[in-house]
Structure 1
């Protein structure tokens, strides 16, 4: 299981500093949507330059203009770019084709998708499928991802992990804490996306280490 550090709502230098503090305990580094919107592809370029040995995720959340946006991300050094699962099917298809051309990866964000839409997206077995509770759901509605397909106080949950989805590359994101890890482990995620539980911690290094230690303990059971 890979820990993906989500870096949002900070400057490029602050993001670099945070990744530097935690790099021994994380695997993937996410250049968050807010960083990309505020600073553009310079944020992705900076992360890849500073951490060339890490998988860099450009959380661009493409909904349209697939080829242009994905090529921007890949040219900037991203190893993974994100597309919204709720976008038009042609958009997802073009993202997949662009990734194949560049030899890179796609993460499909399942935020606000229905079980039917998720089942249709399952044909993209090479992509990472991300079960996601949004920042607004967390801050405005008190929701967070707690176990496979389960969302505390979430009214638009995308459903449970189906039998077919269990064979997919899965990522989990949305208010994840150490306490929620045991429940999420049943999802068998390839990628665990953690933001504020590390970045807002009094000691981000210790917090990242705790996540890694907890994952190892759960994996040894």
Structure 2
């Protein structure tokens, strides 16, 4: 299980400082939507320059104008970009097509996606589905990704979970076979982000080892 560090609602200096402190324990560095909106494509370029060997995800949350936005973020150095699952299929398919052209990857954000739309999304492979509880739902309703029902995904599709992820939720997502945990505040707002990220990694590895023993 990979850790995707979500960097949001900070300035670029703070984002770099946090990512530098925890880089040994995380796999993907997410340039959050707020960073992209406030600092533009330079936020992605900066993260690529500072972390040349890390997977960089641009949380674009694209809903339209797919080719233009995907090209912007991949040319800025992103390896992965997000598109909203509620967007038209034409948009999602075009995001995937452009990602393929750049040797990159698409994460489909399933926030507020209907069951019918999930069925449509099943025809796309080689993508990641992100099961997501929004920040507003977390803060306003006290919900987290643990409350989500993770629909069976087709072969060739990875699963990510985002929204209120804590160390205590790792066993739950491990049992569900989630591939990527998107972790924000539990690391970025911790008193010691480096130690918080290290502990996440330690618990993930412990759960992976236990699961492997059970499956033998």
TM-score of the aligned structures, taking structure 2 as reference length: 0.94
User: Who is 2:108 aligned against?
Assistant: 108
Using a 3 Å threshold, how does the CA distance of structure 1 residues 100 and 107 change in structure 2: closer, same or farther? same
Verify the 8 A CA contact 1:161 1:187 in the aligned structure 2.
no
In 2: Cα distance, 1:166 partner to 1:27 partner: 23
Matched, 1:53 2:42: no
Matched, 1:175 2:176: no
CA-to-aligned-CA distance 1:9-68 (integer Å, 9 cap, x gap): 001111010000000100000000000000000100000000010000000100000000
Unpaired runs of 5+ residues, structure 1, are 152-158
User: Who is 2:150 aligned against?
Assistant: 160
User: Who is 1:40 aligned against?
Assistant: 40
- Matches for 1:62-211 after TM superposition, within 5 Å: 62-146=62-146, 150-151=147-148, 159-162=149-152, 164-165=153-154, 168-211=157-200
> 1:161: how far off?
2.1
CA-to-aligned-CA distance 1:166-211 (integer Å, 9 cap, x gap): 7621111110001111111122122111000000000000000000
In 2: Cα distance, 1:25 partner to 1:166 partner: 28
User: Who is 1:18 aligned against?
Assistant: 18
> 1:119: how far off?
2.2
Equivalent residue pairs, number? 210
Verify the 8 A CA contact 1:166 1:187 in the aligned structure 2.
no
Root-mean-square deviation (CA, aligned residues, Å) is 1.2
Higher helix content, 1 or 2: 2
Q: Secondary structure at the match of 1:220?
A: helix
Structure 1 residue ranges, 4+ long, deviating more than 3 angstroms after superposition: 164-167
TM-score of the aligned structures, taking structure 1 as reference length: 0.92
